[in-house]
Structure 1
């Protein structure tokens, strides 16, 4: 029998945190984070990490699990998340995924396969060196010799994507395009319900701007200064919005005002990308959060109740 699981997804600042804990309380659930940056210890304010008070007594998984100098990928996430599902089910509780990292969601919802995780940083550096020495035309020709099927899906100007595809082809000894074959095949181990939260774009952007202001009042600058000294700009979590924008500020290349504006702008752009990603999944039940919260909670709970009663 397939295990029923719930997903609460949507862009940053749309209101996932409170709704998810209230749902977990009502349905005896435990929450599994699907946020690629909240896995890092110490990166709290800039990732809008849930606090102990906000958890409201609900068990949360895959938050604060590694240090900032460690690497992490979606393959590792999938393995850990599926282990969490089993543990939660063994306690007769309901697994509820919450977050906005689309690839993490897809790794569970779809039957995505990953090769054994391994360090390919040296290989990536060699590919990047080839690009620097030979240019994007030669780089693209190299890609097509490895996987000609990508000719219509990856443009030669998307150098970052081209490099990543070459890296995957070589490290896995398999075509990068074959990964796409796993998309749109639902994971037959689970019976999922995906609830997507959305709101008028202007309201969402205003929430994002205000959230950044609140983060600064809560001590974001001090947090980033400490983590920057501890891990440096080349650590994986310093690629995250809310952290990477401070690097040029620390180097006296931009003002603090420009730094803050960059965080807000990049956060708004990220929210747009999140929505674009999730809109591709036609299985999502979309709910507008611009309503009375009690109505929002009731509507969401009704959807979940009907889903759980299905045989």
Structure 2
């Protein structure tokens, strides 16, 4: 029987404390960290994506940061391909790969035998739908998806235009519904994987999220967003990220700065809630509550010891 490569995945909502845990584990188990965040891949988008700073890395190699320009697109299929190659490279160096991040579908696509459509996308069709969304609105496009694939529509937020378009594109190019396609995915794990989830009391988490947004503003988030705006990057996948779209609305004169920051906090809290729900429903996670900040060091050691046993690590 083939021995599977070992892999640690740390998931959890934004601001829960994944970075500190990942550094501790990388030090203890000779690890290298792979970002599992779909927005930290973009150069010049550091503050709003809570990208780890150089001095916080403590010498630990980090991968999949700053590999794309903000105007470029990025998909789960591309992430799957790059990360699987990184896992192989890191393992061959005798180190332990540790994925850290909160984009659920991306994580799922890596650790399971998850196959994306053999047919490529239909760029002309996609552009047509993007133009349609601009003219008739997101809601009307979502109604189209409800007609052709109600099951897929149930799992996609009406405002997530990119995923609505992708589901319609799959139907257009393959003749199959996205929901049917996903049902046939293999559930076999490709790695000897330990999925660690961090959670905490909701009120404390929301308080930490609000404080993080305030800190981001102090560190120059507005200036970071203005830089993208001045470069003419007004549309596309990257600037739909939380932290950017709200401040773009301010720069476009659609709201005050105070309103934009309040919206940013609210959207971040809602995203954290959706992340937790998704992870609990979709992945076999070992959850650890990190609410008690006074016991944080103790909790990190508990998780570390748990992993040593689970993955038979030295």
CA distance in 2 between partners of 1:127 and 1:56 (Å): 45
Measured on the aligned residues, the alpha-carbon RMSD in Å equals 2.5
CA distance in 2 between partners of 1:45 and 1:273 (Å): 22
- For normalisation by structure 2, the TM-score amounts to 0.88
Closer/same/farther in 2, CA of residues 231 and 94 from structure 1, 3 Å limit: farther
CA distance in 1 between partners of 2:184 and 2:114 (Å): 5
CA contact (8 A) 2:41 2:65 kept: yes
Match of 2:37 in 1: 35
The range that moved more, 288-297 or 168-177, is: 168-177
Closer/same/farther in 2, CA of residues 231 and 104 from structure 1, 3 Å limit: farther
2:292 is the counterpart of 1:303: no
Q: How does 1:1-80 map to 2 (within 5 A)?
A: 1-80=3-82
Structure 2 segments unaligned to the other structure (5+ residues): none
CA distance in 2 between partners of 1:274 and 1:157 (Å): 13
Which string of whole-angstrom CA distances, capped at 9 and with x for unpartnered residues, describes residues 157-187 of structure 1?
Answer: 9585654322112234544223322557033
- For normalisation by structure 1, the TM-score amounts to 0.89
CA distance in 2 between partners of 1:239 and 1:127 (Å): 17
Q: After TM superposition, give the deviation of residue 289 of structure 1 in Å.
A: 1.1
CA contact (8 A) 1:75 1:117 kept: no
Counterpart secondary structure, 1:36: coil
Closer/same/farther in 2, CA of residues 258 and 173 from structure 1, 3 Å limit: same
CA distance in 2 between partners of 1:114 and 1:142 (Å): 23
2:238 is the counterpart of 1:233: no
CA distance in 1 between partners of 2:142 and 2:253 (Å): 36
2:186 is the counterpart of 1:181: no
Which string of whole-angstrom CA distances, capped at 9 and with x for unpartnered residues, describes residues 198-221 of structure 1?
Answer: 000000000000000001111111
2:265 is the counterpart of 1:260: no
CA contact (8 A) 1:46 1:220 kept: yes
Closer/same/farther in 2, CA of residues 199 and 278 from structure 1, 3 Å limit: same
CA contact (8 A) 1:130 1:139 kept: no
4+ residue runs of structure 1 moved beyond 6 angstroms?
none
Closer/same/farther in 2, CA of residues 165 and 17 from structure 1, 3 Å limit: same
